[in-house]
Structure formats: structure tokens, C-alpha cells
């Protein structure tokens, strides 16, 4: 397990992605899975950056773990910001046109569809969002 604790700021998304990609490359992660994970990082860390501590900036920890059977990567995002479960909101109706659809929710929907597992809990004053992707 490796961890990175960094300010939850949009300008740090690239650093978080680079940190996770370094772990994925060591595992020989296929490029398709890595791209899906990178998109998930962009969405999830962006949400933490915009909403967890707004208008302040606070810390976020990104933890990368490897699981076996099947080989998969587990990435956990932890912040001490405002409690928020992004999985509680209903999925957007993607059959509607962009103009008819409510704003918001599409990014987390894409993460849910591209990851094998996603979970959220609020524990000990922390938002803990975990994604899992088989590689």
C-alpha cells in the first residue's frame, strides 16, 4: 500500500494521477484500465477539491493498494471535509438530451460504469470513497 497526502486543490489532480499511474505501471496495468482509472481520479479528486472544504483548502489522502484473485487495484480517497456521499444521488437519465438532463451527476455515473466496484462511507469524521478496478 502506498499513500499520498496532498492539498485538495484542482491544480493537484495531475500530481495525484502521476502518483497512481506510477503504481499502475509497476503492475503492468493495461492502458485501457489505466485510462479509465485516470478519468475516475480526475472526476473524484476534482469533486473533493471543489466541495469538501469549500471555500477553504484541506488535505486529501489517496491510497493505492493491490488485491489478488483477480488482480485488481483499489484506490481510496479520504478527506475530512463536509460529509457527502456521491453515490446517494440517483443516476442521471442518459436517455434525455443534454438540454433536458439535470446538471450534475454525469461524472460520478461514468466512474460507476467504468469501475468494477465503488463504495462510500463516512467514518471518524472522514469521507472515504473507494474504487476497485480489475487489471
What's the CA gap between 78 and 88, in Å, rounded?
A: 17
Question: What pLDDT, on a 0 to 100 scale, did the predictor assign at position 69?
Answer: 81
Q: Is 127 exposed, middle or buried (0-12, 13-18, 19+ CB in 10 A)?
A: buried
Can you give the pLDDT at residue 104?
63
The reported pLDDT for the residue numbered 105 is: 61
Could you tell me how far CA 133 lies from the centroid of its own chain? 11
Q: What is the pLDDT of residue 101?
A: 61
Residue 48 sits at φ, ψ, to 5 deg, of: -60, -45
CATH number at residue 73: 3.30.565.10
62: left (phi over 0), alpha (psi -120 to 50) or beta: beta
Domain that holds residue 87: 2-134
Count of domains in the chain?
Answer: 1
* Tens of pLDDT, residue by residue, the chain (135 residues): 999 999 999 999 999 999 999 999 999 999 999 999 999 999 999 999 999 998 899 999 999 999 888 889 999 999 999 999 998 877 666 666 767 766 666 678 889 999 999 999 999 999 999 999 998
List the beta bridge partners of residue 31: none
Amino acid at each position: 500500500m502506498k499513500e499520498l497526502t496532498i492539498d485538495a486543490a484542482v491544480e493537484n489532480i495531475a500530481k495525484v494521477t502521476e502518483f497512481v499511474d506510477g503504481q499502475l505501471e509497476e503492475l503492468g496495468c493495461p492502458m485501457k484500465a489505466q485510462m479509465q482509472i485516470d478519468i475516475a481520479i480526475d472526476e473524484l479528486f476534482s469533486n473533493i477539491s471543489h466541495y469538501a472544504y469549500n471555500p477553504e483548502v484541506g488535505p486529501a489522502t489517496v491510497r493505492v493498494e493491490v488485491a489478488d484473485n483477480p488482480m485488481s487495484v483499489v484506490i481510496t480517497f479520504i478527506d475530512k471535509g463536509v460529509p457527502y456521499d456521491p453515490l446517494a444521488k440517483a443516476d442521471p437519465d442518459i436517455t434525455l438530451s443534454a438540454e433536458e438532463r439535470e446538471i450534475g451527476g454525469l461524472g460520478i455515473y461514468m466512474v460507476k460504469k467504468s469501475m468494477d466496484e465503488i463504495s462510500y462511507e463516512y467514518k471518524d469524521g472522514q469521507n472515504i470513497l473507494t474504487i476497485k478496478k480489475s487489471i
